[in-house]
Amino acid sequence: METASSARKSSEALSSSKLANLKEFRSAGRGYWHQVPDHDWNDWKWQLKNRITSVAQLEKLLPTLSPEERAGAMLAGDSKLALGITPYFFNLIDPANEECPVRRQVVPRVEETHTAPWELSDPVGEDSHSPVPGLVHR
């Protein structure tokens, strides 16, 4: 009986330590921006000022771009898709995984420009009520 009780306590301690380990914050590091001082790195204005906004920057920092990502980033230069990744958020990307969820959120892909047959050009039905073309009500 004592061995079962001690095994259960050991298992509880292990699961408790695993839970504590999962709750612990781990920084993604600074990657290419390792030389940036803390006061700049932690400043949201610095992060916005130094975000990745061009294909050239993206290719330099993420050389594993897929053809779909490269084409999407090229469209970002033409103002068809948005590209603006802060250094902090860029460091959350797994460069070895094209399907990395963070990467899929911030790196534009050419597939985003394709309209499916079931999609509507005005899904909310506001165009007919707009006083001028291109006005977006928020």
* pLDDT-derived band at 132, boundaries 50, 70, 90: confident
Tokens representing 57 are: 């920057």
DSSP state of 81: S
pLDDT of the residue at 135: 74
Q: Using one digit for the tens of pLDDT, what is the confidence trace for 75-131?
A: 887 777 889 999 999 999 999 999 999 999 999 998 888 888 888 777 777 777 777
> At residue 12, does pLDDT exceed 70?
no
Say if residues 99 and 107 touch (Cβ distance below 8 Å).
no
DSSP string, 13-56: HHHHHHHHHHHS------GGGTTS-HHHHT-HHHHHHT-B-SHH
Q: Using one digit for the tens of pLDDT, what is the confidence trace for 24-66?
A: 666 678 889 999 999 999 999 999 999 999 999 999 999 999 9
In the chain, where the domains are located? 36-113
